[in-house]
Homo-oligomer: A and B are copies of this chain.
Amino acid sequence: MRPEALGVIGLGAIGGSVAWGASVAGVRRVIGYSPLPAETVAAAKAGAVTEVAQSVRQVMKQSEMVVIAAPPAATLTLLATIAPDLLSRGVLCTDVSSVKSPVVTEAARLRLGELFAGSHPLAGTHQSGFDAARSDRFVGAVVYVTPTPTGAQGALEVADFWQGVLKATPVTIDAEVHDRMLAWTSHLPQVTASALAAALARTGPPGVTYGSGARDTTRLAASSVEMWRDILLLNRDAVLVTLDGLEDQIGVLRQALVARDEAAVAAWLEAGAAWRRGLGE
């Protein structure tokens, strides 16, 4: 779908990029709303939006399609708030949160059916706020699209929006499969980086120099706390399974070190090295 009037609720790194990309792609009206006045001003100055709304209600009055770009828990609240407007005016809606099953379940409960499909663009950054928005953030990026149980057509329209307007590569996937997969590919890396950073903060030596390796490995730890709190709690069961997987591996190394088992330490390192080399830079 290529809307004439697109509403974007939330103008941070992702919402700001959706609005900006749509403006650049020639969507006639891009109506932005952010609860943070500074973000609204920055988005307007950059030309990322064509109009600034003063409230979610005002966005809903004018938009043909709405993108909710808020942290996951706020996304659930907003969806319930705007559901009556979506239903009464037949407005298509999507969101951009990293956890999809709770959002799709809530959309189904609100009987949005064809009017909602979840989205998760793989174009995140550990930076947050409109400063991290880019008009071309989604060009070529994979965007997972998760239909409601009765929303195959809505998912097609949402996928068409990502592809046609923002030049992304939409991939339709079941919300629960998505969440279990992302627990490994995204949530576990985040937790690992945060755990290392927390360990260094709490127990590491003070006033020391960190090289590029430690910086790379902990970079994700600087991500939005609010967003990740929501993601980890909403995808709790799948995340706990991945924590088992990580702790198992630390245990394998610990045992090999305690036994001074050279071959076992090397085999353990090799498993990770082979996998990482296969991933490319």
A interface, CB within 8 angstroms of B? 122-126, 142, 180-181, 184-186, 188-205, 208-223, 225-226, 228-229, 232-233, 236, 239-240, 242-243, 245-250, 252-254, 257-258, 260, 262, 265-266, 268-277, 279, 281
Copies in the complex: 2
- Report B-chain residues with C-beta under 8 Å of the C-beta of A185: 200, 204-205, 208-211, 214
- Report B-chain residues with C-beta under 8 Å of the C-beta of A228: 269
A233-B196 contact given A186-B213, A250-B247, CB 8 Å threshold: no
Shortest CB-to-CB span from A129 to chain B, Å, is: 13
Report the bound CA distance from A203 to B242 in whole Å: 8
- Report B-chain residues with C-beta under 8 Å of the C-beta of A188: 196, 199-200
- Report B-chain residues with C-beta under 8 Å of the C-beta of A217: 189, 192-193, 216-217, 219-220
Shortest CB-to-CB span from A169 to chain B, Å, is: 10
Tell whether, in the assembled complex, residue A194 and residue B269 are in contact, meaning their CB atoms are under 8 Å apart.
yes
Shortest CB-to-CB span from A215 to chain B, Å, is: 7
A195: nearest residue on chain B (CB-CB)?
A: B249
List 6 tightest A-B contacts by C-beta distance, closest first.
A197-B272, A201-B275, A221-B276, A221-B272, A194-B272, A203-B245
Report the bound CA distance from A43 to B102 in whole Å: 57
Tell whether, in the assembled complex, residue A195 and residue B250 are in contact, meaning their CB atoms are under 8 Å apart.
yes
Which among B216, B245, B249 is the interface contact of A220 at CB below 8 angstroms?
B216
Report the bound CA distance from A41 to B233 in whole Å: 55
Tell whether, in the assembled complex, residue A273 and residue B222 are in contact, meaning their CB atoms are under 8 Å apart.
yes
- Report B-chain residues with C-beta under 8 Å of the C-beta of A208: 181, 184-185
- Taking A123-B211, A181-B208, A199-B248 as known contacts, 16 extra A-B pairs with beta carbons closer than 8 A to each other, sorted by chain A number, are A181-B205, A185-B214, A192-B192, A194-B272, A195-B249, A196-B249, A197-B271, A198-B249, A202-B249, A203-B242, A203-B245, A216-B217, A216-B219, A221-B272, A232-B253, A233-B257
Report the bound CA distance from A272 to B217 in whole Å: 12
A257: nearest residue on chain B (CB-CB)?
A: B236
A229-B184 contact given A201-B271, A211-B124, A239-B257, CB 8 Å threshold: no
Shortest CB-to-CB span from A35 to chain B, Å, is: 19
Shortest CB-to-CB span from A30 to chain B, Å, is: 26
A203: nearest residue on chain B (CB-CB)?
A: B245
Which among B122, B229, B265 is the interface contact of A229 at CB below 8 angstroms?
B265
- Report B-chain residues with C-beta under 8 Å of the C-beta of A246: 195-196, 199, 250
A246: nearest residue on chain B (CB-CB)?
A: B199
